[in-house]
Structure 1
């Protein structure tokens, strides 16, 4: 019996996708072998790759002047790829909003290749909120402006898209495909797959065409967006199984009603959990109300001596991976697309019972 998985990543995958992959594992498309055993350049796999790209374009309404890339190295690889690809044409400055752990990692990497201007930070209140748009101002001379719309660890989500003069770059690893986005507002969108797209081992990037010729000299070939775009994301052997599974997730999302349907579900799931937290004297959210994430919900117990018991009992109840990130402690429930409403209902019921017994 499958349990309810609240892991922040690698995260839950849709059960129908896993079942299809299971059926096809040994004999894919009647070829007598697995999709993992065929050439990435075979007609059969090229069709998988092309359909995955088109389905992602359809889901996010990606304009024709954007390349859709399937890349290795996860979002962390893109922390390096972004400055490598964008700091070579004029300005060597990048601007950032520092909203938590993942923004910090992107900032640290960008500083290796150019000047970084942090225009706003929420460090003053332990990264418990998203800095307001009127609290900062871009200098106007940066090569790009980077932000993290959702901080997976801290559970902070931006309620707006920054308006800047330079290309806007967003790490959407934990929110992509959870709601409609206006791709045209961004120069670059990148995301690790292991939350709302598919398994770990692959990342997607949407790159506006005019940004493909701005790289630093001697950019590593494996990090070049231009090389990847010209090769159809196949300059070297790609992670074919992760690409195949991501494509199945895209098809599943279309069958569920696309990102509009996912947005409604995300709102309903997160509201149920936040409503419980706000009504409780035993559990609470450390995130300011206007910045709470729909995808990642951290929470703490009034008595942290009960943390270990909570985790033991929740796992026994079939509620997996509720331990908070090691850097912040507490608990965290990740509510990605593949986590059903029934999982949240079960979690809230368990928390209410635990409170009744332990408070």
Structure 2
């Protein structure tokens, strides 16, 4: 008879959401500086704190000195769409997607911008399309790491050095967990609330000299809302990349992001962040491989993320269920473990196949992941035996 005794230990920090992600270990409100609160973001203090967030981001990510780093409204979506709206349309473009957010960029290009010379590439959850088929002259929009599928690009070999087109990279669930190949990237975007677990709403836009040249030399045929206007007098508005944001930012969110960056710097910078994410993901990878009723959503190990690890169910019992019953399996597991305060927000994405998704980024502790996995086993066996 199956032992349905629940595990003895719960994760101390039951936060496994893929966004907003867990706060860094030791986080508390009293770690945030508050001098800038209630002040204008245009004040010397406000601009200095925003510039400090930009400078720390540049340092930790190893962004080249001649690239611009700016704070944008609207999270990663605002930053990425700003890049698309200001740069695309000048030459043929390819938008590649292999999960839900990448498909939003396809819809933007096809239905909103209505690009005249557009190619789209897509793939099912857990796979990536043939990126090598993209013409090097084309502008390219792609998602480095699929937040909702767990599939990442294995390398950037498909991008030729010195290629003619600009490369727009949505890196929001990869940044601070995987090394960016900066010489091949012209616009890279991310949000504070993803890998660093900071408060949401603001995004980052990192531009190469080639991206700046495109913006300065090209005026798209469509109207640009104020939030996307990066030029002033025909030139890039460099003030945006020195702390003079386009619109009013949250200084509280800014201070929360700064605290996370300072934590990352204190533990050893991006190398330490990469190592923590890799170690966390390895725990989950090994557990999936050792669990007969699970499989990684991504078949190719070279394409598996070290952040949002996604996995699906298999086996005789699961396969005997109707599609509706299969869809209920992860929902019931998540509901049970959330109710017990074991783990929060580790359900698979709503448009993905029925699945679970454990965030393994650097702000999550290994011990908490190790404690979570037996609880998933217990919940699955309880459900299988009609006791959940």
**Fold shared per TM-score above 0.5:** yes
> Which residue of structure 1 lines up, in the alignment, with residue 181 of structure 2?
182
Tell me the alpha carbon deviations over residues 133-156 of structure 1, each in whole angstroms, 9 at most, x when there is no partner: 44x13162x3x2111011111111
Deviation at 1:2, TM superposition (A): 5.9
- Residues 184, 139 of structure 1: CA spacing in aligned structure 2 closer, same or farther, 3 A cutoff? closer
Pairs aligned (count): 342
Distance across 2 between alignment mates of 1:323 and 1:128: 16
Distance across 2 between alignment mates of 1:358 and 1:98: 35
> Which residue of structure 2 lines up, in the alignment, with residue 293 of structure 1?
305
> Which residue of structure 2 lines up, in the alignment, with residue 200 of structure 1?
200
> Which residue of structure 1 lines up, in the alignment, with residue 336 of structure 2?
313
Distance across 1 between alignment mates of 2:249 and 2:209: 22
Superposition pairs of residues 102-141 of structure 1, within 5 angstroms: 102-111=101-110, 112-113=112-113, 114-115=115-116, 117-118=118-119, 120-122=121-123, 126-134=124-132, 136-138=133-135, 140=137
Task: Give SS of 1:37's match.
Answer: coil
- Residues 116, 287 of structure 1: CA spacing in aligned structure 2 closer, same or farther, 3 A cutoff? farther
> Which residue of structure 1 lines up, in the alignment, with residue 211 of structure 2?
211
- Residues 24, 61 of structure 1: CA spacing in aligned structure 2 closer, same or farther, 3 A cutoff? closer
1:169–1:188 CA contact under 8 A, matched in 2: yes
Task: Give SS of 1:57's match.
Answer: helix
1:110–1:116 CA contact under 8 A, matched in 2: no
- Residues 45, 78 of structure 1: CA spacing in aligned structure 2 closer, same or farther, 3 A cutoff? closer
> Which residue of structure 2 lines up, in the alignment, with residue 326 of structure 1?
350
Distance across 2 between alignment mates of 1:44 and 1:133: 45
> Which residue of structure 2 lines up, in the alignment, with residue 58 of structure 1?
59
Task: Give SS of 1:156's match.
Answer: coil
1:5–1:320 CA contact under 8 A, matched in 2: yes
Distance across 1 between alignment mates of 2:120 and 2:130: 11
> Which residue of structure 2 lines up, in the alignment, with residue 155 of structure 1?
150
Distance across 2 between alignment mates of 1:60 and 1:100: 25
**CA RMSD between the two structures:** 2.4
Tell me the alpha carbon deviations over residues 60-85 of structure 1, each in whole angstroms, 9 at most, x when there is no partner: 11112211110101222234322321
> Is 2:192 aligned against 1:168?
no
Tell me the alpha carbon deviations over residues 324-352 of structure 1, each in whole angstroms, 9 at most, x when there is no partner: 11112321112222111122111223234
Distance across 1 between alignment mates of 2:220 and 2:98: 27
Deviation at 1:355, TM superposition (A): 5.0
Gaps spanning 5+ residues in structure 1: where? Answer: 30-34
Task: Give SS of 2:227's match.
Answer: helix
> Which residue of structure 2 lines up, in the alignment, with residue 7 of structure 1?
17
- Residues 240, 24 of structure 1: CA spacing in aligned structure 2 closer, same or farther, 3 A cutoff? closer
Deviation at 1:186, TM superposition (A): 0.6
Scaled by the length of structure 2, the TM-score of the pair is: 0.81
Task: Give SS of 1:106's match.
Answer: helix
Gaps spanning 5+ residues in structure 2: where? Answer: 1-10, 319-325
- Residues 196, 119 of structure 1: CA spacing in aligned structure 2 closer, same or farther, 3 A cutoff? same
Distance across 1 between alignment mates of 2:333 and 2:300: 24
Deviation at 1:301, TM superposition (A): 3.2
> Which residue of structure 1 lines up, in the alignment, with residue 69 of structure 2?
68
